[in-house]
């Protein structure tokens, strides 16, 4: 027969394990992955990179995407950001992307690749250009459709640099912040319950 003391320990351990699972699931739920195939045909993720990131979903034949390039070059020269040019249609030879980069004299520091099906589905990429800006801890600052001016992009870059989270796109942040807050509440209640249990047990023994 299992003693009451051992039963209590088992219950507490089980409860803490459940809280840990909720925490892990919460982190998984709030993360945004922007996966792509790089020029070596290797699967990569924008989230694995550091700093402020400007992700441009485009097509090499899209006139508005081409019109956006001078703005992106200006942003690149004025701010310390990483620019990702992700073609939404996969090509195994890379020739179209290579020609695009050469013809428009784009920086070797920019990252080129092809969006995965998951990224296309997540961001509903049925038209381009579309631009996602991430801050240095991978929160989505904004998700923008269509051709954007330098001033529009600059405002969002400054929001990312200054952590102006109140200006972040609520579609990608409200649910996440609520989930994180709820997880902290669950964990706090769990820890409090354990502390109260041991305090009561200590006083009873005395």
Residues 162, 178 within the same domain:
no
201 phi/psi in degrees, rounded to 5: -60, -40
Q: How many domains does the chain have?
A: 2
Are 159 and 186 members of one domain? no
Tens of each residue's pLDDT in the chain, 206 residues? 566 566 666 656 655 555 554 444 444 444 589 999 999 999 999 999 999 999 999 999 999 999 999 999 999 999 999 999 999 999 999 999 999 999 999 999 999 999 999 999 999 999 999 999 999 999 999 999 999 999 999 999 999 999 999 999 988 875 444 455 555 566 666 677 666 676 666 766 66
Do 69 and 116 lie in one domain? The reply is: yes
In a domain, 26, yes or no: no
Q: Is residue 131 helix, strand or coil? A: strand
Establish if 117 belongs to a structural domain: yes
Domain of 101 in residue numbering reads as 35-167
Co-location of 177 and 162 in the same domain: no
Helix 174-205 vs helix 4-30: crossing angle, to nearest 10: 170
Same domain for 118 and 182, yes or no, is: no
* Residue 151 tokens, joined: 């001033």
- Specify whether 120 is located in the same domain as 163: yes
The answer to whether residues 149 and 193 belong to one domain is no
């Amino acid at each position: 027969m299992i003693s009451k003391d051992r039963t209590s320990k088992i219950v507490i351990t089980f409860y803490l394990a459940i809280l840990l699972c909720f925490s892990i699931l919460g982190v998984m739920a709030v993360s945004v992955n922007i996966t792509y195939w790089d020029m070596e045909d290797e699967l990569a993720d924008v989230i694995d990179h550091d700093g402020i990131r400007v992700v441009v979903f485009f097509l090499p034949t899209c006139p508005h995407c081409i019109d956006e390039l001078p703005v992106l070059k200006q942003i690149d020269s004025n701010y310390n950001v990483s620019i990702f040019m992700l073609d939404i249609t996969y090509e195994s030879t890379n020739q179209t992307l290579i020609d695009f980069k050469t013809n428009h004299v784009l920086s070797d520091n920019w990252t080129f690749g092809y969006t995965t099906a998951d990224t296309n589905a997540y961001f509903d990429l049925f038209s381009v250009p579309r631009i996602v800006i991430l801050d240095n801890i991978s929160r989505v600052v904004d998700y923008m459709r269509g051709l954007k001016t330098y001033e529009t992009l600059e405002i969002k870059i400054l929001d990312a640099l200054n952590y102006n989270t109140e200006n972040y796109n609520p579609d990608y942040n409200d649910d996440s912040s609520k989930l994180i807050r709820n997880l902290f509440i669950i964990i706090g209640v769990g820890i409090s319950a354990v502390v109260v249990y041991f305090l009561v047990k200590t006083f009873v023994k005395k």
